[in-house]
């Protein structure tokens, strides 16, 4: 995934938390901009700033009609349907799905290390804010 591209990840309820997790993984691994939104929240405002070179991912359950409606806008859209009705199974399946997806994208694009490790100044500021005084 080129760093210049951005991804908006959409999900409702539990899937919003999964979209948030996925956005963190994409930002850390690829150094790209990745934002999570609730599906309806995205359609209230962020959709108007969305540009076609960017990507839109929907993670959910029974969001087919909404996904189809957005796909009519000819956006770079991907919809991942998670079928399991058990809440805990959904979480674990989604986490493994996201981790495998990130690894597949990394392999496809020739990434061999986490990009956040290369951005030293940002890494130092982030570590300081999260963990306090660091050397």
For 52-61, write each residue's pLDDT tens digit: 788 999 998 8
Mean pLDDT of 105-110: 88
Model confidence at 81, pLDDT cuts 50, 70, 90, reads: confident
Q: What is the pLDDT of residue 45?
A: 92
Domain locations along the chain: 6-131
Close Cβ partners of 97 (under 8 Å, ≥ 6 residues apart): 80, 82
Cα angle: 15, vertex 18, 23; to 5 degrees: 125
- So what's the architecture of 6-131 in CATH? 3-Layer(aba) Sandwich (3.40)
On whether the pTM is more than 0.85, the answer is no
Mean pLDDT of 45-58: 89
DSSP state of 37: E
C-alpha distances in Å from residue 81, one per residue of 39, 61, 64, 69, 97: 14, 5, 8, 16, 11
**Least confident span in 4-8, 19-23, 106-110:** 4-8
Mean pLDDT of 91-109: 88
């Amino acid at each position: 995934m080129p760093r210049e591209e951005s991804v908006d990840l959409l999900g409702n309820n539990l899937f919003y938390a999964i979209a948030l997790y996925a956005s963190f993984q994409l930002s850390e691994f690829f150094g790209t901009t990745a934002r999570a939104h609730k599906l309806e929240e995205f359609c209230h405002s962020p959709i108007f700033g969305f540009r076609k070179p960017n990507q839109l991912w929907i993670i959910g359950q029974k969001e087919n009609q909404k996904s189809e409606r957005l796909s009519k806008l000819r956006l770079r859209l991907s919809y991942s349907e998670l079928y399991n009705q058990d809440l805990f199974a959904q979480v674990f399946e989604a986490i493994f799905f996201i981790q495998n997806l990130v690894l597949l994208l990394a392999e496809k694009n020739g990434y061999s290390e986490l990009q956040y490790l290369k951005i030293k100044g940002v890494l130092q500021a982030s570590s300081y804010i999260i963990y306090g005084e660091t050397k």
